[in-house]
Amino acid sequence: MTYTYEYPRPAVTADIVLFSRFEDRDYVLLILRKHYPFEGCWALPGGFINMDETLLESALRELEEETGLEGIALKQFQTYGDPGRDPRHRTITVVFTGRCDNLPEVTGMDDASEAKWHPVDDIPKLGFDHDIILKDILKLMGTSTMNS
């Protein structure tokens, strides 16, 4: 069955904020975007949900597709949907958080040209509204050590 609506509908994504601790320092996992928008900018791993998967399944799939990590426990954090957060169209994202130990090896794959752990006290400028998302999570954790 196909539905046609008079008004446009937003797209929905899942983004992942994954932390790791190594040698008494906190890190967050970022990807270097390979495509428009924000090509060549660091961002949180994530992407569009598929019609046949849950939000959590989407987050786990995107994390594996872009970084090679699998089997990570994720928890839903918050939803972001301000107009203009994605220059392509109206996009609402559901953000998931997780934690793993000792900086597991990651590889940029799919639409990520690179994946890398960044110290939370040395975060580059991020694409989309990912700066806001990360600041919100760090504030909740009682950490405000993000540059920018």
At 13-29, the pLDDT tens digits run 999 999 999 999 999 99
pLDDT reading at 136 higher than 50: yes
- Is residue 53 among the annotated active site residues? no
- Would the pTM of this model clear 0.75, i.e. be above it? yes
Catalytic residue among 23, 57, 70, 114: 114
pLDDT reading at 2 higher than 60: yes
Q: Is the link from the previous residue into 104 a cis peptide, with omega within 30 of 0?
A: no
Domain count, the chain: 1
Q: Tell me what pLDDT residue 148 has.
A: 39
Residue 148 resides in a domain: no
Calpha distance 69→106 (Å, rounded): 7
Residue 61 resides in a domain: yes
Q: Which CATH number covers residue 87?
A: 3.90.79.10
Q: Tell me what pLDDT residue 1 has.
A: 63
Structure tokens at 20: 């790791």
All residues at 6 or more sequence positions from 2 whose CB lies less than 8 Å from its CB, including other chains:
none
Calpha distance 82→68 (Å, rounded): 30
pLDDT-derived band of residue 5, with 50, 70 and 90 as boundaries? confident
Q: Give the residue among 127, 133, 145 at the shortest CA–CA distance from 42.
A: 127
What is the rounded radius of gyration, in angstroms, for the C-alpha atoms of the chain? 15
Percent of the chain with pLDDT over 90: 88
Calpha distance 64→71 (Å, rounded): 9
Range of the domain at 119: 16-140
Q: Give the residue among 18, 25, 21 at the shortest CA–CA distance from 103.
A: 21
